[in-house]
Amino acid sequence: MKELITNSPLFGLAVTILSYALGMRISRKTGKAIFNPLLIAEILIIAVLLLFDIPFSAYNKGGAVINMFLGPVTALLSYSIYRERKLVRQHIISILAGTAAGSIASIIAILLLSSLIGIDTVLASSLVPKSVTTPIAIAISETLGGVRSLTVTALLLTGVAGNILAPLMIKIFRVKNRVAQGVAIGTASHVVGTSKALELGEDIGAISSIALSFSGIITAIIAALFL
């Protein structure tokens, strides 16, 4: 009976969508960054899989269907860049400078820290794209030979930490310029951080959402050329 249910792709589809809906509801009710819908959905699904001893391969029959939509989701990032083209054109040099500096610093920091601590290369490769937007990060992790689920875990952690710590980092690094605040938040902590940027100001949020696409592209190019 159990196999009959879990071996259908419908199981993975249903459990994923239901958990995410629950996650969105909890997130909206509490309004706290730590109650991220993606994080809640993952914990719920993993709990179900472990509790009922369901293998990931069974879950992933449905999961893979949802995963297919990463393509359109990534492609549509250019929709938001294009819609904000006035803002992009206005600050293009600063956005390019900031996202390039941030992406390069991020990759160097991760590789240096990884070799310092002495973790294995698979884990290091999984961490390299952890600051960029999720669909791009998953793609980069796969091309680098990383484990994409580790990338998503590090990415969630970075995003939630970035969301919570953004006001503190603005203060201790004395970042007064609003464009700089937006670019830094988007580059360092992708879309989860961007939701905090939107709270700080609509202009900062818009810049942040542009920066997260740019840093994703730059990181992918660096990964393709040098790693």
Partner 1 sequence: MRILLQLSFLFIVTLLGEAVSYMLPFTFPGTLIAMFILLILLGAGAVKTEQLQESADFFSKYMALFFVPAGVEIVENLEILRTSWIPLVSISIISLFITFLAAAKAVEFSEWLISRRAK
Instruction: Enumerate residues 183-222 that contact partner 1 by CB under 8 A.
Output: 183-185, 187-189, 191, 211, 215-217, 220-221
Exactly one of 28, 52, 149, 199 binds partner 1 (CB under 8 A); that residue is 149
Residue 2 beta carbon to partner 1: minimum distance, rounded to whole angstroms: 17
The answer to whether 225 contacts partner 1 (rule: CB under 8 A) is: yes
Rounded to whole angstroms, how far apart are CA atoms 185 and 33? 14
Residue 158 beta carbon to partner 1: minimum distance, rounded to whole angstroms: 5
Exactly one of 33, 58, 125, 134 binds partner 1 (CB under 8 A); that residue is 134
Residue 200 beta carbon to partner 1: minimum distance, rounded to whole angstroms: 13
Rounded to whole angstroms, how far apart are CA atoms 20 and 38? 7
The answer to whether 80 contacts partner 1 (rule: CB under 8 A) is: yes
Task: From 1-9, 147-155, 196-204, give the range in contact with partner 1 by CB under 8 A.
Answer: 147-155
Q: Which of 33, 217, 69, 204 is nearest to 133 (CA)?
A: 217
Do 184 and 169 touch, CB atoms closer than 8 A? Answer: yes
Q: How many residues does the chain have?
A: 227
b/e for 166-185, b at 16 or more Cβ within 10 A? beebbeeeebeeebbbbbbb
Look up residue 160 and give its two tokens: 């939630």
Exactly one of 7, 35, 94, 167 binds partner 1 (CB under 8 A); that residue is 94
By beta-carbon proximity to partner 1, the closer residue of 5 and 47 is 47
By beta-carbon proximity to partner 1, the closer residue of 4 and 79 is 79
Instruction: Enumerate residues 169-188 that contact partner 1 by CB under 8 A.
Output: 169-170, 173, 175, 177, 179-181, 183-185, 187-188
DSSP string, 139-205: HHHHHHT--HHHHHHHHHHHHHHHHHHHHHHHHHTT---HHHHHHHHHHHHHHHHHHHHHHH-HHHH
Instruction: Enumerate residues 104-133 that contact partner 1 by CB under 8 A.
Output: 104-106, 109-110, 113-114, 117, 119, 123, 127, 130-131
The answer to whether 69 contacts partner 1 (rule: CB under 8 A) is: yes
Exactly one of 22, 26, 161, 200 binds partner 1 (CB under 8 A); that residue is 161
Do 210 and 218 touch, CB atoms closer than 8 A? Answer: no
Residue 185 beta carbon to partner 1: minimum distance, rounded to whole angstroms: 7
Look up residue 221 and give its two tokens: 């190019």
